[in-house]
Amino acid sequence: MLSDNSDPQSRVQLNKFTADGFDRGVGKVKETIWYLFKMFFFLSSFPFPNGFKCWLLKSFGAKVGSGVIIKPRVNIHFPWKLVIGNDVWIGEEAMLLNFELLSIGNNVCVSQRSFLCGGNHNYKDPAMPYRNGAITLKDGSWVGASCFIAPGVTIGVDTVVSAGSVINSDLMANSIYKGNPAVFIKERWA
């Protein structure tokens, strides 16, 4: 532990950060066009029709099933790195930061203000390079309101993540998890 009088020199050197090796998936022009469409049709509080929003996502490379409901103010970073199954609900102000593949199964609910965070940095390297990871939500899972899902996480089939929980590792199927960090509470279907 440091004494009150010591003030160590920081080793972090953000000016040395580089995104070399990070595959954005498309060129800058397509990404810029997506941001314009996202601003008007996804980040707006106006409830544009779900079919129209799904069509837009598909136009930008997403794979989207039928019966998908996307509420207003949903922030989808890279649609070309997004797979959504059938009968999926995505609630208001959900943030899908999918720097890597985000795969959402069938009959999945992502509730309001949840943050699916596929982006991260390696804090052990002074330049803090990217340390991103794919996220997978298996069939029948439910991510409650205001949850945080970290990069590289898989949420098992029929698993419930209670509101406000923080998930940093894979979750078993048919389970209920709660807390920060989230812990197993019980089976969903006994």
Torsion on CA atoms 102, 165, 109, 82, rounded to nearest 10:
-10
Q: Are 150 and 143 in contact (CB under 8 A)?
A: no
Residue 118: domain span:
25-187
What is the predicted pLDDT for the residue at 8?
87
Q: Within the chain, which residues score under 50 in pLDDT?
A: none
> 71: which 2 tokens?
């509420």
176 part of a folded domain: yes
2 part of a folded domain: no
47 part of a folded domain: yes
pLDDT in tens, 41-86: 999 999 999 999 999 999 999 999 999 999 999 999 999 999 999 9
pTM: 0.94
94 part of a folded domain: yes
What single DSSP character describes residue 2?
-
11 part of a folded domain: no
For position 138, which CATH number holds? 2.160.10.10
Q: Are 118 and 135 in contact (CB under 8 A)?
A: yes
3 part of a folded domain: no
**Three-state DSSP class for residue 184:** strand
35 part of a folded domain: yes
1 part of a folded domain: no
Question: How many domains is the chain partitioned into structurally?
Answer: 1
